[in-house]
Amino acid sequence: MKRPELQIAYRSGRVVAIRPRELEPEPLGPIARETGFKVSPLCDRFEVSERQLHRIFTDSLGISPKDWLRRDRIVQARQLLMEGMAVKEVSVILGFPTPKDFSREFLILHEVTPTEFQRRHDAERDRRLE
């Protein structure tokens, strides 16, 4: 059986794309950001159809590429919030239509608003410094 042109896997705690013609696996986080967290540009980047990408993701990670992109976008948002970036700025950088849309998506996945997440993170950091 022919080896697939694209594989998705966890390596060192990160999701990576493995292509036979590339020497090193590519971390998907930066690629997701470059493609605007959209499935279609991701397919174009890896030269696969949406159906193929869906099959590769579900076989490898157990979730669809759309769900993975959604989660990764919020993971990147968490990192930016922990670095002290404003909620509005994070929403723009990560391509959300409005800060309200960003807040709603964040709340769905973390059960806390981005502002509250940031407050809790700052309070925890301050406690550790005391």
- Summarised one tens digit per residue, pLDDT across range 88-114 is 999 999 999 999 999 999 999 999 999
Which of 43, 65, 87 corresponds to the end of one domain?
65
Please answer whether residues 109 and 71 qualify as being in contact, where contact means their C-beta atoms are separated by less than 8 angstroms.
yes
Please answer whether residues 91 and 101 qualify as being in contact, where contact means their C-beta atoms are separated by less than 8 angstroms.
yes
Same structural domain for residues 74 and 125?
Answer: yes
Same structural domain for residues 85 and 58?
Answer: no
Q: What Å distances lie between residue 32 and 26, 35, 67, 80, 96, CA to CA?
A: 11, 5, 12, 15, 14
Same structural domain for residues 13 and 57?
Answer: yes
> Within a domain: residue 59?
yes
> Within a domain: residue 54?
yes
Same structural domain for residues 78 and 60?
Answer: no
Task: Report the alpha-carbon distance of residue 120 to residue 107 in Å, rounded.
Answer: 14
Please answer whether residues 104 and 112 qualify as being in contact, where contact means their C-beta atoms are separated by less than 8 angstroms.
no
> Within a domain: residue 83?
yes
Same structural domain for residues 97 and 55?
Answer: no
> Within a domain: residue 2?
no
**17-41 confidence digits (pLDDT tens):** 998 888 889 999 999 999 999 999 9
For the cut 90, the answer to whether the pLDDT of residue 2 exceeds it is: no
Same structural domain for residues 124 and 74?
Answer: yes
Please answer whether residues 8 and 54 qualify as being in contact, where contact means their C-beta atoms are separated by less than 8 angstroms.
no
Count of domains observed in the chain: 2
Dihedral angle sign, alpha carbons of residues 62, 65, 70, 71: positive
Same structural domain for residues 46 and 89?
Answer: no
> Within a domain: residue 47?
yes
Same structural domain for residues 18 and 61?
Answer: yes
Both tokens of 7, joined, read 């594989």
> Within a domain: residue 119?
yes
Same structural domain for residues 81 and 95?
Answer: yes
Structural domain range at position 45 = 7-65
Q: Can you count the helices (H) and strands (E) in the chain?
A: 7, 3
pTM comes to 0.87
